[in-house]
Every structure is written in C-alpha cells, then in structure tokens.
Chains A and B, each alone.
Chain A
C-alpha cells in the first residue's frame, strides 16, 4: 500500500453538485476525471502525480460503482498502450505519469496511438517535473506533442481552471480524434485550493460493454497503407478540427486592454507568476485586473495562427513568455509573423533567460526590461529608478553546509552501500552504474558511489559496454531497485546481461515497494493486496531469465554478509552475470506499518520489544569513522563537555529505529566497541522478570564490591 492512506480524499471523490471540493490540484484532477465520465484510468506513479494513482488505488469501491476500471500500469508504455481502448470504442480513457521521463518510456505507444487516432477521448495527464524541486533532467514534453501531433493543454494553475481543462481535453480529443496531453507543473499538482464539484458520471460505454461487443475499424490500425492516410488526416482533418474547437470554445483567454501597443503571449501555467510580476510592477491588482494586453495559451499546442495574428495586429512589440527550451512556441509565432510580413517586434528568450524555471524575480526582471524597452511610459517612475540603496547582506554561500536528500533513518539500503565501500577498500575502486530510485542517494556523501544513471531499470544495462578482456580483471557493479527491475530492468538489464554473457555484477535493491514514488506495491511486494497479485519472486524471475549465479540476502543489515557476497561476486570464476538480490523492507513504510501494531500490542499487555542503539561516549574516541560509513540522520556528533577531549563524539538520538546498521558496520569494519543495542521489553514474562532481577542482584553486588576498593567515578 502507498505510504499515505487516502481514505479522507476518497470521500471527497464522492462529492457532487453543490459541494465545494477542497484539496490538492492532483486530487482535483482525479475528481474531474470521474465528473467527465471516464471509463478507465491507468498510469505509472512518480512525483508529482503519484497521489492521483494512490487516491484511485484507495477508491476501488467508488470506481466499481461507476463501472470505471483502474489499474497501476507496469510502465508508462503500458499505460499509454492502455489508451488503445479508446481507439475503436467511444470510451473516455485517461493515463498519467511523470514527464519528461515517463513520456520517453511511453513514446513508442504514443506514436502509434497518435497515428491511428482515437474515437473516445484519450487524455494523458503529464506531471511536468521541471524547475526547482525537480528530480530529473530538464527537458520539455512539448517536443513529443509536436512530433506525434498530440495536442497539449497547459491550464492556468488554479483548481477551477485545471478541472475545466480535464473536460475540455476529453472533448478536444473526441472532436479531433487525437489524444490530448494535460500538462501540470509540480506546484500545480500540490497546490491547495477549491472548486465547485459536479456529480460523478458513469461512462455511457464501459470497458466491459466494449468486450461484449468487439469492434475494429481498419483505417485506425497503424499499418501501411493506413499510416499514409493517418498523416494526411492529421494535417487535413484533425488539426483544423482542433483549431476550430480551440477558437469556438475560447480555450485560450484574453486579459487586459485589447489594442494596446504591447502585449504578452504566455503559457497558461505561467499566468500566476506573470500577474504577480505585473502586480509588483504596479500594472495589475491582486485579482489580476490589468491594462496589459495578454493572450493566455491554455492550449499550447496546436497554436491557432489566426488567433495569434489577430492578437499581434497593430502592436509594436509582443513578449512570448515560454518556460524551458528550445523555445518552440516563440519559433512558431516568429515563423507566422515573418511569413505574413509583419513588422511587430517579437521578444522572448533573451529578454527572459533561455533555460531554467521562470521564478518571480526572473519574471519581474524580464517584464521590466521588456517594458522599459518598448513601453517605458507604462512603468511607474518609482519602479524604474531605485532610490533605496540596497543593504549589503553577508554572503553565506561559503558557510552553509549543503543538505542534499539522503537515506532515511534506518534505511535498509544504507548497509548495502556501507558494504560496497568496505569491498572497495579491499579490492580497490570499481566502475559503478546507478539507477533511478532511493538507492541513487549513494551518489552523495558519505558513500560517493556511482558514476552514471541512464534511466529507470537501466542501471545494469548502462554497464553493458564494460566487457573486461581479462577474465580475472575488475568487473563493474551496477545497482537497480525492485521498482526499476519490474519496470523494465528484467528484460533491458538482466535479460541483456544474460544474453550477452556479461561477467559483471548486478545488485538488485529490493525494499518491498516502489519506495521513492511513495511506497506503492509492485510485483515483488511482500504485502498481500486484495486488488493485485504480489509476492512474485525476483530471484525466480532472474532464474527464468537464465541467470545462473544468484544470491538472495534476506537482511541487508548484515553488512558482513553483504560484503562477503559482493566480494564473492566480484571474484568468482563462474561465467555470466552475478546477481545479488538484497532484500529488506523500506524503513519509512515499515515504521508506518509496525508502529501502530506495536503500540496496540503493548496496550493489550502483549510482550513487545523496542530496539534502539546507543554509544558509550567514554569509549567513542571521536574519529567518526562510523559516520563515514552511515550518514544516518539519527547518528550525529555531540560535545562531551570534557575539557580533556577535543573532538565531538558520536551520539544517537531519539529518532533511532534500532535497525542495527551502526553495530553491524562497527563489527564488519572493525571500528570500535562503543555501540550497544538496547532492547526495551514491555510486558515481559514473569520468568524473564525473575531472571533479570536475579542477574541484576549479582551484577550490582560485584560492582559495589569493586567500587569499594578503587578510586573511580561514581
């Protein structure tokens, strides 16, 4: 199950006419899907759209009431292929994933879907993970929309606008027989707001109905000669239909005073930032009322030439506000204007930065420059000439320690990399390929392990070129998570290594969940899930793929064992890929699962053991070698207050979950004996108590006897 229960949110999905929905943008989209009679939903979890999947996963009952089929797709390609249900049948379908990475994976299915076109509305909700807080490479999904000719909506970032875009998207898709992308940014997904709910709609045709009455139209199937007709149809039928719809339904909005000498053309998603910038420049009030003439593109692809030309008519200068690069929209508009021989000055990139997120200050600066160049009279004087001399604030960049994300307290992946470090101390450094997932934090201190990351499930694949002519020479080590393994690692990485007789080492980091995306279940999850088949063995899958040398480690915290196994994998004579499956439950999810259970058991008087680690500060010498092999948030440094000692000693705080890594590392690396494990037993058995009391008596007798004979600290 996902790390968060969405029981509350699920209730919101039941709201109807007259209710006001309050919540996150991503939940609003989920509700909007149901209001628009969606027939099936799929997708692959990933920030920022994970919650959409998680909520629907918890909403099974409502969905079945409505006859809506939901499934968590194996990958973004699977999700997009799922939209095939809308090719021949008038069923609305929606899928969602993180973009641009998800769209990359989906692009094969996307091209096919786009070529044949659709009958029922097909909506692809892409969580555009761009700008601050993004976890992926900075690229635009826009290119996919253009090359496959699927339409792309980028609504203004407020709940009513986003919700409206869902309905518009389905209709646009249907009138133009084209799949439609709905693009939402990270913050739009997590924005908290309100909108007026409508009743959920049961799909007029369900997927079950379709199965009972199969249909096929030859001209929608992607196979020559139909493909040539598809291209033709895209240009002559689908595009015009879409453009007509965009005009008729006023998808794009005009704000401000028409006919003024300068104007802005902007993506809907940037609207709020633009208004705030105008407000700060004294050109708009806080409700968005402004003199500035603006064309807001809630549909960024396709553009409607006539609309653009009409907007530019009679203007001296127009600023295109387009986040990310290349500046596709600006290029298209420049092309239109040039062809029509217009003289209006086109500004865009250059006045605004070529790349990077358009934050508040960037927007203020960009608009400021645009206006001072083309409409200085519009800018209030005060804004132009600064009479406040700025106060010099000390530069802290040298002082502040970086705080990159890292492994959580008690993370079962930490010991795997501690072991890897120990192996490297023995056998020297190796080439290490990393993958997508929490385990990628190995790149950061204290481990500093991993050279490349080439995509989800592609860790071992990205080591494919490293074939050592010397059989006794070094091998590469590559990591892949259980999530990546099932996403496509099984074939692209493991299968490929087997087929090509790779001698390299593959470590599959199995934490029982798709943890980095929020703890969703996957094929090998250990939990029983009433709507999914879990508990499928990774080891068996690898064997099925033809892996001969494979080791299963059931407790990653056993650093010594992980170290020795990895060492064996790197040195064994055996040919073919060496696969190690290192399994322990994600601690974040385990704590969420176990804590309440233990509390309950303790209340009921059952025997409960709470483990915790500690450090004997008189034994710790303050070398911090343990932290160079851990980086656990609960293991930190503290002053002893003893003038005889210079360096702070190790200390473990209350947040420790007693995973055991500290002790195991101290043991495996032969560090020091300062660590101890304390297990606090609630509701101990009578015998246990008796034994404890007896040994305690004898122990304290011995202690007092010794203390009586020596000068020592009491």
Chain B
C-alpha cells in the first residue's frame, strides 16, 4: 500500500444532521460463515432504521483462505448515502476477526486504528499449513499479536469465541455476532440482534445460546473461557493390582528419595515406563535417573532431562506397543467419546497398519530375527507378498485377536531383536552423557535432550536416527568449548526445523568451521 510518510488526516465528515457512516470489516477464514455474519449485521442495521450495504470477495471464500467481508451503514434520512465498497486503511470503525492471527492480519493491513477501531476478535487458533508441517513445533506464538491489539485498537473485545460457540452447539458466526452486540460498538439493542437470528431459521436455539453467552462475556458480565494451555491437562490414573502393590511402593519410595526438582518428572517417567513394560523395567529406569542425579547439583536440569528422555528411550515405539495401546479398554472409551457414539449406535473401528519386513524381523527373538535379516531371499518374498497396507477391524473379534496376540508378546519383549538394538543404542547415548556430565553438565543435558530427534516409525524413524547421529557426531568438535551446550542445542533445533536437513547441514558446517 502506498502510505505517505506523513499521511493526511482523513476522517469521515458527518451528514447535515449529524448522521454518520459506520464502517465494519470482518476478516474470516474460508468456511467460517463470514457470509452469514454479514447478512445478519445488514439485517440488524436495516431493522433499526439504517441503510446498509455489504460487499465481499467470494470466489475462494468457501476454501481455506483468509477472506474480507465489508459492511457500511448509516441512519436512514431518506437520501441514499454513497457507501464505499471496500475497507480503507485507518477508516474502519469496527473490525471483526474470527481467529487470532486474522486479528493480527487486520492490524498489519492498517484496518485497526488507535482512537477509532473497536477490535472484536476470537483468540482461538487455526494453525496455518506452514505451522503444521514443521517436524518439531512450528506453531506461531500469539503474544506479539495480543500486545499489538492493545496498542492499535481503541477498544478490544478478545476471547475464545470458537469454544463459546462449540459449547452452545453452534458455530462461531453466532458468538461473533454476540460479541459485536455486547461490545456496544453498534447503536442497536440486544433484542434486535436476537430477532434477526430467530428470523434466520436453522439452528436458532443453539445460535441464540452462543450469541447470549458471547454477549455477556463481551459486556463483561460473565468471565471468558480459559485458554486451553492454562486449563490443566488430565493426568492419567495408574491402576496397581494388589499383588504388585509392594513392588510398586518400593519404586515410589525411590522417587521420593530424589531431589524435589526431579521428583514430578521422574514420577511421570516411571509411570510411563512401567505402563509400557513392567515393574522391573521401572527399576531399570530409576537406576539411570539416580546415576545422573549423583553427578548433578541444583537446579538439577541435567537430571530433569535424564528423567524425561530416559523414559522416552526406554519406551521405544514397536509393534507390541502399538498393539497394546490399540487393544486397551481405556482406548476404546476415548475413541467412543471422541467420535461421539450414542448407546443405540454401533462403532466400527478400522486400524491402518503397514508392517514391513524390518518390523516383522525385529519383532522376533534375537537369533531367528538375525537369521532372517541375513536371508535376502526371504526379505524379497515378504516384500512381494506381505509388504502392504493392512486394515484391521479392532471392533471385530478376529481383528482384535490379531493385535491381542502381538501385544501379549510384551512379557518376552526383552528377548526380541528390536529390544537388543534399542538398548545398545540407548546405552551408548546414556554413557556418553554420563561421561560428558563429569566435565560439562550443561552439554550433557543437551546430549540427553537430543533424544527428542528420534521419533516416528519406519522411514520417519530412520530419518530421526540419522539426524540424531549427525548431531551427536558434532560432540567431539564441541567438547571443551564454553559455548558447547548452546551449540549442541542450536544443532538440535536446526535438525528439528526442516525435513530435508539443509539447516542442519548449515549449522554443522559452521561448527566445523570454528572447531576445525
């Protein structure tokens, strides 16, 4: 946009008897019902003796892009005002945004002006594709946007209007209208809004509930819903059978003996590990944590990472694990309410599996597995006949039993080929950390954190392992430097940041340059 260095102050001038044009722009993500919202607003204005005009740029509105709807209205004095067809920088009285970043976009585009604009925005997030495809966590932090709102807007009404609508069984357009009415930015009474909703026909009751809730929150007569990250996560309950109670208690006692800083994380880790394999496995886990604690001192960052990543390393994702999770009672329950199954309905569950020769062989006892891996002919045969997608109906007895059998191998997991490999790999990593910890605890802590790079299945898993190996490969170059820990962290971040690994190459090159 071409804005002059010193822009001309260009405010709208009112009509002869003081009537003013009110400008309202709505930024929505395609498919959020921005069209419905605009029609409602126009109807409300007209019902209150105003002339109104709305425009939109449809076309891709139904798709997933950002779309602008624009409304102008003015008290009807018998003459037709000349309404503008699109919002102008610095000339928007009310800006409605149906998602946090769209609110930010409105500010960036100059549609939110100090001393003029009432900004009504939902604070929930709809992640853009660019945020989803990052191998780590690519989500944008919204705090800058929230701050900018405070500066740019004359009056801000911001809360999670999506969950308000959801709770009322409606869609966001109704809670947005409620927030608009509640903000008092339009000189129209509440019931005139509600009449329009009633007139619109479908889903009226739900829409009115969402409208009313949002109205109260915007007015400040009701508290806004808590953002998800503040709402406490549900801590799963551990079920301990009678005859294992004493063994379990012993483990808990060991946790209790740890420094306070490490207790909670270790407790979580312990539960995870025991749930994954058995009580003995939990004891192995505590051995590792205790070893690291012995080398550590307050604030125990090193031990924290040990507690976290040793649990991750011990609970590698193999067929047994997947089969175990997929056949649990708790899992069936979770699925049932996630997809909303009523009592008179039947649920059919299809799992998507694609076990390759690799997974098959490593799920066998060491000797047999190794023998098989050497037989290229057998691998070829398997690939030809068995390496394909499998759909397993876990609601049917047959399908369930297939997974059940696999999951019942759990007691002998330690004898399986995959376990041997995983444990060797883990030991190498852990011992390196122990070794480094003696001289550079901070670096050791980063070494432990590198386990974050190992995740996924098949190719994804292989890619993770190689990234891990390459990052760890830089260890010797970094040892002894006082910024070693920081560089180790940077390498990991680079590795997480892109799939191809170009960023990691760059970071490694830099390390070599100064270490070489």
Contact = CB atoms under 8 A, between A and B. Distances in A.
Contacts of B279: 711
Given A396-B107, A396-B144, A643-B265, A406 B82 contact: no
Contacts of B248: 711
A404 B141 CA distance: 19
Contacts of A362: 1-2
Given A560-B389, A616-B325, A616-B331, A695 B55 contact: no
A394 B114 CA distance: 12
Contacts of A560: 389
Contacts of A616: 325-326, 331
Interface stretch (A230-238, A499-507, A661-669): A661-669
A215 interface: no
A403 B127 CA distance: 9
Interface string A605-631: 000010010101011011111011001
Given A361-B88, A588-B62, A676-B350, A272 B82 contact: yes
B8 A365 contact: yes
Interface stretch (B174-182, B268-276, B366-374, B476-484): B268-276
A394 B146 CA distance: 11
B350 A679 contact: yes
Contacts of B131: 401, 637
A647 interface: yes
A667 B327 CA distance: 20
Given A133-B57, A619-B317, A633-B31, A673 B345 contact: no
Contact of B236 (A48, A438, A446, A714): A714
A678 interface: yes
A401 B101 contact: yes
A660 B196 CA distance: 39
B351 interface: yes
Interface in B136-162: 136-141, 144-145, 147-148, 151-152
Contacts of B239: 707, 711-714
A401 B91 contact: no
A703 B345 contact: no
Contact of B86 (A132, A633, A695, A713): A132
Interface stretch (A72-80, A182-190, A217-225, A458-466): A182-190
A393 interface: yes
Contacts of B4: 365, 368
Interface band, chain A: 35 or more
A713 B108 contact: no
B55 A192 contact: yes
Interface band, chain B: 35 or more
**Chain A CB within 10 Å — which of B88, B151, B459 has the most?**
B88
Contacts of B207: none
Interface stretch (B73-81, B185-193, B209-217, B439-447): B73-81
Interface stretch (A260-268, A279-287, A485-493): A279-287
Interface stretch (B394-402, B419-427, B502-510): B394-402
A282 B13 contact: yes
A704 interface: yes
A627 B132 contact: yes
A276 B84 contact: yes
A400 B105 contact: yes
A598 B451 CA distance: 48
A48 B59 contact: yes
Contacts of A277: 10
B2 to A, nearest CB: 6
Contacts of B8: 281, 364-365, 368, 383-384, 386
B55 A663 contact: no
Contact of A399 (B85, B145, B338): B145
B459 A191 contact: no
Interface string A246-259: 00000000000000
A164 B31 CA distance: 35
B436 to A, nearest CB: 21
A713 B236 contact: yes
B59 A280 contact: no
Contacts of B54: 191-192
Contact of A677 (B82, B332, B352): B352
A409 to B, nearest CB: 8
A103 B394 CA distance: 57
B511 interface: no
Interface in B446-505: 452, 455-460, 464, 499
Nearest to B140: A401
B431 interface: no
Contacts of B56: 190
A446 B131 CA distance: 10
Given A132-B68, A365-B4, A405-B63, 5 more contacts: A360-B89, A445-B133, A671-B457, A707-B329, A713-B275
**Smallest CB-CB A-B distances: 4 pairs:** A641-B233, A360-B88, A133-B57, A405-B65
19 contacts: A47-B58, A287-B81, A361-B1, A361-B88, A393-B107, A396-B144, A407-B64, A441-B63, A627-B129, A641-B232, A643-B264, A644-B269, A644-B272, A681-B348, A682-B344, A688-B346, A711-B274, A712-B238, A713-B275
Interface of A: 3, 47-48, 132-133, 135, 157-158, 185-188, 190-193, 271-273, 275-277, 279-282, 285-288, 353, 359-362, 364-365, 368, 382-384, 386, 388, 390-397, 399-409, 438, 441, 444-446, 560, 588, 609, 612, 614, 616, 618-619, 621-625, 627-628, 631, 633, 635-637, 639-644, 646-648, 663, 666-673, 675-684, 688-689, 692, 694-695, 698-700, 702-704, 706-714
